[in-house]
Amino acid sequence: MAALGRKRFDNKFKFFCGATLISEDAVLTAAHCVKDQQLDIVRLGEHDLSSDNDGANPIDFEVKEVLIHPDYLPPSLQNDIAIVKLSKRVSLTSKVKPACLPSPSTSFPSQAAVTVVGWGALGFGDRSASTLQEVTVPMWINERCQNAYQKLGESFKVIYPNGLPDTVLCAGTEGKDACQGDSGGPLLFRSGTGTRHQKYLLVGVVSGGSQCGLANSPGIYTKVDQFLRWIADTL
């Protein structure tokens, strides 16, 4: 898990989005987090953003390059994905290592349990959390998600003018969701059986939604397996 930050006037950092380490020198995030935004550092290995005494020993990396998917055209959230190249390679440890990417043929059970992680707000309009949070939520089939969001009318059409594309997935339930500040962070699926064979796959990137934790408005995530070729070519 990574945190994206910008330097404030007092030389401290304001962290505003999440990201996920996917190689020794790159993180994956949402395009809307970095499009026309000041980005100064990527922090890895953090737990409590407000404390230097949490035993986390985070490391900050300067940004070498920001690479936004060429088909990302705001205000739409289609193709909401970007890669941030780091200024130097990461020294990998048991606590800081790249996430596993899914394969193109990865499939999920109906209403599969997935986990979203981040430092975002604990409720709509609340302040962001200082300590890293996680919550497990069920996936939705896109048809059900599309039907739920169509009720929002024109505001939904601005973000997804042609309806929900196959390049996104939905997940969430009442009271459990990503929220402001979680954008760009990971949605993880635990695959395999038995402790030794289990691994977490990075299946989604936090992208959008309607407020947070509403009963019929799940979070919307960029679906990582639809961008594997672009990721490989960009790295």
What is the DSSP secondary structure assignment for residue 11, as one 8-state letter?
A: S
Half-sphere exposure of 180 (CA within 13 A, CB side): 8
Which listed residue (183, 207, 210, 217) is catalytic?
Answer: 183
Which listed residue (32, 177, 182, 217) is catalytic?
Answer: 32
Cα angle 44, 75, 212 (rounded to 5 degrees) comes to 60
| Catalytic status, residue 32 | yes
Strand partners, 136: 115
Tokens of 27: 């993180």
| Catalytic status, residue 25 | no
DSSP run (H or E) holding 143: helix 142-150
Calculated CA dihedral for residues 155, 159, 160, 161, nearest 10 degrees:
70
Q: Please identify which residue in the block is written with the tokens 């390059």.
A: 65
Which listed residue (69, 80, 182, 210) is catalytic?
Answer: 80
| Catalytic status, residue 183 | yes
> Which residues are designated catalytic?
32, 80, 183
